[in-house]
Structure 1
Amino acid sequence: MSQTVVTQTLPLKNFRVLGRERLAPRAPGRPVNLKLKDNILAAIAQVLVEEGYQGLTISRVARSAGVSTATVYRRWPTKQAMFFDAIRLWRDDLTPQIDTGSFAGDVDALIAARVRFLATPLGRTYGTLLGEAVHDQEFGQVLWETSVAPARAQMALFFERATRRGERVFCQDPDTVLDMLLSTIHFRAMNMLGREPMNPEKNVQEIQSLAHCLISC
């Protein structure tokens, strides 16, 4: 198993679950501060963790953020618009900036970052969203832009750097290999259809072993 190094993991700055003290209600009519949108996005994360996507409503988010529903509606006219804006902030946690100096190391680091994020309370909501994406084209497009497209671009960058270094990597198409890895990761994120909860360290090792088989010529 190669030793992986993530050179820069961009934290989920605006979309982390904050303590209740950070979401204290503010009095009606109080001037909006620059952190208001961040607080609402944090409230969205809080509601997703506590109640899942089905429990996500504008009124529930407003109550958690300590603002009026009108304040939320001014920024997002629908639940879906609010949710789409929020999950785009997952991109940096799902696909951090990585450069370990080798193709295998880069792939290992990408797998580890994604699995470990999906095993967090917030990341676990991702598995429940995959079914929604099948039935809702716009929903699916946002998940693609947030999760798959950045990973494909990153895999292409890994391949380009490896080629410049003169590394021998896999004989198959990079997108196909990535699709196979993401399919395995996302199946784990869905808790194997409810049969087995994620075990991040074990899952990382298993999927990294699969990756090593796929990228060997």
Structure 2
Amino acid sequence: MIRRSFLASTGVLAALCVSGCLESDVRAPGNGDETQSDDDANSSGDDDPQEDMYPLIEPDPLDGIDPLAYDVSITSEATTDSPLTIDVALTNTGEETITYGERRDAMFWTAGGDDDFSLYPKGSVEDQYEYDDVWWLPDGFATTMDYQTATIEPGATHTETLALLHGPVDDTEELRALPPSLDFGVEFGYSADEDDTMPNGTDVSWGFHLRLGEE
């Protein structure tokens, strides 16, 4: 499996889109006298080999979050056996220990792409979601109301695997197909000051654009 990922921090912005394995024709060695057919000539034009490679992720860093950096990767595409899953990794690239919160917000728990589709921690919902032409949560997802923080050491990375799911509906006929694209964003705070008590600290917003097809 080849991963599609991006890494973003202050002043650094990269978007990588990679598809699954692409089969290519293997041609026997020729003598150099082969003629090119009309079909071959037409297919060797201006087609962009990356044009139809979906899904892909594009960063949307609303704020610089240095010395923190996100790396978001599509780990599996949606099939009839499993939903689309994404790994969100948050790395401390600095030299000081950082505390951030709210922890679940920073890791994109229940981040909504629109009114129907959101990201959910896969380990917490994998026994609950179902497939009816689209992956969804029949009973919804509830979290506790406490404010959670996490501490991340220099060079360390915190990772969360998330599933893209449709929210609950009264009737399966109300389920929508996945749209061509979804935007996900979070707000959280962080601090390297040991005397700071979260939610004090630096407030930041960060997000990404998930393209699932032609818009």
Larger radius of gyration: 2
Instruction: With the length of structure 1 as denominator, give the TM-score of the two structures.
Output: 0.26
- Relative to its length, the structure with more strand (as a share) is 2
Instruction: With the length of structure 2 as denominator, give the TM-score of the two structures.
Output: 0.26
